[in-house]
Amino acid sequence: MSRKIYLSLDTTARSRGTDLVAAQVEKKLKAQPELNGKLIRNGSRGMFWLEPLLEISTPKGRVAYGPVAASDVSAILNQQCFDDVIEHPLCLGFTEQLPWLKSQQRLTFARVGVIDPVDVEDYINHDGFVGLTNALAKTAQQLVDQVKESGLRGRGGAAFPTGIKWQTVLDEPEQQKYIVCNADEGDSGTFADRMLMEGDPFVLIEGMIIAGLSVGANQGYIYLRSEYPQAHHILKLAIKNAEKAGYLGQNIAGSQHHFALEVRLGAGAYICGEETSLLESLEGKRGLVRAKPPLPAIEGLFGQPTVVNNVISLASVPYILTHGGAKYRDYGMGRSRGTLPVQLAGNIAQGGLVELAFGISLNQLLQQYGNGTKSKRAMSSIQVGGPLGAYLPSEQWDTPLDYEAFSSIGAVLGHGGIVVFDDTVDMAAQARFAMEFCEVESCGKCTPCRIGAVRGVEVIDKLLAGNNSEAQRQDHLSLLHDLCDTMEFGSLCAMGGMTPFPVRSALKYFPDHFVTPPLNHEDQVND
């Protein structure tokens, strides 16, 4: 048996040069066949500041080296490296023992960065398809009950209880039903869906098959954003391999059940992450948001009952069916059960993926995993939950990661993206950008969002123009607040309804950024 060497094919790992290192490893293995090594391209462990992370399998566990350059390969790869930890400046020790990784609770991401993402056998060797096997022995109602018991809530951001959504679809009379995976991960600062699809696509596929069994659906679609070419490539390959192995198509895993799965690409519209807009897009139309009711669970894709779930929600299901809903529910706090894959992004020294039970505070998380800003300056503001999430000032960083705790301070946890800004940030420019983003990405169906965003940019520009009297300033401010109210309460969906969150939080907690703008306002930022 050949000895295994691992390098990631994850988008971010590749952006840090894993392909160059991989080429060098292949070259070395070819030149020295006596090493008997085999290179496997896997997902990433999520320690992106250590990429390219080279891992070598030894009898004592995998040993990590990083960040590795192509020129380091020759010195690392020798006979000794396959036996144990070796003396090398880039040697980090056993991967599983690295505190950053060891302290996490990786339930959903258990296999990401570990297995070959498109090898069905490797997946099965790591407890893959156990959940599906268990599911095949249960009735649809028992499956839905397991998911309800787990307390799983939609990880896309809206946090709606997954079991209740599934129950609604199950309760619809027998007819064509669909499972749609929302893989339109558009929030800046989030990449958990991408990492999962690139690192362990089978867990998503397994989750979708179980969802199909639970509600009586035999067709699934993954709606993937076009900005993720690598995830697209890997998903297509994984689906093909799952079909070949009998896990997709007719009589899945030798049962009487059928489930077909297809990936469909979006086309660069943020709004298509909103579930009804996504369904319109899948049907081949403009991604205009639908008024609810009817709920997609009752009239969804092509008018049929449809489960629309985020990637992480669906990928959490195999764990629940493997270990039981109660085991999953044991993690977390309050009404936020299980784990949340948090993404550390923006100006942060150790950016990456941290999967933990709900409940840890933002401060603890940053101290334990973030290691300060990349710029070495002080952190000043943190945006949680994507472009529609509030900016949190330092006094709010003790908030625990919990849907309700965030909601109580006017913020959102969303999809778990955490974007750190240092003290050079211009919060007025960030508030303006929130409105500008809404202007670009609004679907245009409802007026508060379509027109409100345009007026929002205008009034912030007037506010920052620098030639206002105090009375004019107050006028602009009150107009802006009024506009935020109109958008929040009058918009059809979260796009217009939540754009005020970043704007209001910037105004409230960073008021001095809006007072005396420097002359070259835009130029101040990050220069």
Partner 1 sequence: MAVINEQGLQQIAEIIKQHQMLAGAMLPILHAIQNSVAFIPDNAMPLIAKALNVSRAEVHGVVSFYHHFRTEKPGNHVIEVCRGESCQAMGSRTLERAIKSKLAIDYHQTSSDQQYTLEPVYCLGNCACSPAIRIGDDIHGEVDPGKFEQILDALTTYSLELK
Question: What is the contact surface with partner 1 in residues (CB under 8 A)?
Answer: 11-12, 14-16, 48-49, 185-191, 193-194, 226-230, 264-270, 281-287, 302, 343-348, 351-353, 374, 383, 387, 417, 419-422, 425, 429-430, 433, 437, 440-441, 443, 522, 525-527
Q: At residue 210, what are phi and psi to the nearest 5 degrees?
A: -65, -40
CB of 386 to partner 1, least distance (A): 8
CB of 347 to partner 1, least distance (A): 4
CA distance 525 to 487: 27
Query: Of 171 and 423, which CB lies nearer to partner 1 in the complex structure?
Result: 423
CB of 226 to partner 1, least distance (A): 5
CA distance 442 to 451: 9
Instruction: Spell out the SS3 assignment of 239-260.
Output: HHHHHHCCCCECCHHHCCCCEE
Query: Of 230 and 468, which CB lies nearer to partner 1 in the complex structure?
Result: 230
Strands 336-337 and 332-333 come out as antiparallel
Query: Of 163 and 201, which CB lies nearer to partner 1 in the complex structure?
Result: 201
Using an 8 Å Cβ cutoff, are 411 and 396 in contact?
yes
Strand partners, 165: none
Instruction: Spell out the SS3 assignment of 343-398.
Output: EEEECCCCCEEEEEECCCEHHHHHHHHHCCCCCCCCEEEEEECCCCCCEECHHHCC
Query: Of 194 and 476, which CB lies nearer to partner 1 in the complex structure?
Result: 194
CA distance 470 to 511: 14
Query: Of 11 and 322, which CB lies nearer to partner 1 in the complex structure?
Result: 11
CB of 115 to partner 1, least distance (A): 21
**Ramachandran area for residue 182 (φ above 0: left; ψ -120 to 50: alpha; else beta):** beta
Query: Of 147 and 353, which CB lies nearer to partner 1 in the complex structure?
Result: 353
Query: Of 240 and 285, which CB lies nearer to partner 1 in the complex structure?
Result: 285
CB of 99 to partner 1, least distance (A): 18
Which parts of 66-210 are beta strand (E)?
Answer: 91-94, 178-183
Using an 8 Å Cβ cutoff, are 369 and 350 in contact?
yes
CB of 132 to partner 1, least distance (A): 25
Query: Of 270 and 319, which CB lies nearer to partner 1 in the complex structure?
Result: 270
CB of 526 to partner 1, least distance (A): 4
Query: Of 5 and 356, which CB lies nearer to partner 1 in the complex structure?
Result: 356
346, 347, 351, 355 alpha-carbon torsion, rounded to 10°: -60
CB of 20 to partner 1, least distance (A): 12
Length of the chain: 527
CB of 375 to partner 1, least distance (A): 8
Query: Of 227 and 404, which CB lies nearer to partner 1 in the complex structure?
Result: 227
Using an 8 Å Cβ cutoff, are 67 and 16 in contact?
yes
Measured in whole angstroms, the distance separating CA 290 from the mean position of its chain's CA atoms is 24
CA distance 456 to 369: 36
Q: CB 300: neighbour CB atoms within 10 A?
A: 25
Sheet of 219-224: strands edge to edge? 260-265, 219-224, 178-183, 306-310
CB of 34 to partner 1, least distance (A): 30
CA distance 257 to 255: 5
CB of 440 to partner 1, least distance (A): 7
| H helix or E strand, kind and range, residue 99 | helix 99-102
CB of 186 to partner 1, least distance (A): 6
Both tokens of residue 488? 């929040």
Strands 391-392 and 379-384 come out as antiparallel
